[in-house]
Amino acid sequence: MTNRSKRSEQTVPCHACPVRKLTRFQPLPESQQAVVQQYRAGQTLLPAKHHLYREGELHGNIYTLFSGWVMLYKTLSNGGRQILRYALPGDFISFQADLQAPMNHSAQTLTECTLCVFPRQNLIQMLQTHPELGLQIAWITARDMTLGQEYLVNIGRKNAKERLAFLFTELFQRMGMHDPKIGNSIPFPMTQEDIADTLGLTLVHVNRTLRNLREEGLINLSHHTLTILDYAQLAELAGFNNDTLATDQPLL
């Protein structure tokens, strides 16, 4: 149990992780979907371990992920890596505050991926012609930011076991496996090193903590498949709260 400031003045209520509300793919209203179609430049199929773009590069496209997993990360001067989040089908990739500037992070496929490609210029044009889409983007960005904040809490204030538990429940939820039926599995394309770089731990310690979770019968992770054996206990460990029922509605 690490760094838990138990301040006495404990008036502030805890309302645990609302990742649930971040999980589902929010389809655009039909009217807007048609509009968006006009601006896309087609679809790409990329192999696993392929970089969409790298930190520091000027990059011309924006993407929507149709199938597969993409990981977004940043690199440190000493060779370290911090994974920021995993993009799942439906996610929007490579949007950043300054569309002209070099990318502030890298994106690499973990599996084979199908992506819908929008040239940046098209996006800009689209936003000029259909300004109401700006708000959609604000909504998506705010949702991604909330997930990032959950990650911050996870890394900053939880021990290794709890961090693992959180990552697993988060991905399980985002994959759309809300079923109460226990013992479900999801594909899990990342390596233990990836997990380590997501959670601010080392590869070795991730491995040991995984064994620990396995021995306690909470999960099983092998051959790139994650099986949740005891969701309730895992969510409890993670400080993950399903109560926060989500209205997945967009802003307006």
Partner DNA sequence: CGATTAATTGATCGTATTCAACTGTGGTGG
Partner DNA sequence: CCACCACAGTTGAATACGATCAATTAATCG
Which positions lie near DNA, rule CB under 7 A?
1-4, 9, 159-161, 191-193, 200-205, 207-211, 222-224
Cα–Cα distance, 243 to 245 (Å, whole number): 5
Which residue from 191, 190, 211, 193 is spatially nearest to 202, judged by alpha carbons? 193
In degrees and rounded to multiples of 5, residue 227 shows phi and psi of -115, 125
- Give the Å distances, CA to CA, from 137 to 33, 56, 114, 144, 250: 13, 23, 21, 10, 10
**223 touching a copy of itself, by CB under 8 A:** no
**54 touching a copy of itself, by CB under 8 A:** yes
Q: Residue 193 is encoded by which pair of tokens?
A: 């090193």
Q: 90, 139, 189, 229: which one contacts a copy of itself (CB under 8 A)?
A: 139
- For the segment 4-43, give every residue that binds a copy of itself (CB under 8 A): 4-7, 10, 12-16, 18, 21-22
Which partner in DNA, a copy of itself, none is near 104 (CB below 5 to 8 A by kind)? a copy of itself
- For the segment 61-100, give every residue that binds a copy of itself (CB under 8 A): 74-82, 84, 95-100
Q: Which is nearer to DNA, 73 or 118 (CB)?
A: 73
For the bound state, the minimum distance from the C-beta of residue 188 to DNA, rounded and expressed in Å, comes to: 9
In degrees and rounded to multiples of 5, residue 46 shows phi and psi of -115, 145
DSSP 31: H
Q: Which is nearer to a copy of itself, 33 or 104 (CB)?
A: 104
For the bound state, the minimum distance from the C-beta of residue 214 to DNA, rounded and expressed in Å, comes to: 8
CA angle 42, 100, 48 (to 5 degrees): 45
**152 touching a copy of itself, by CB under 8 A:** yes
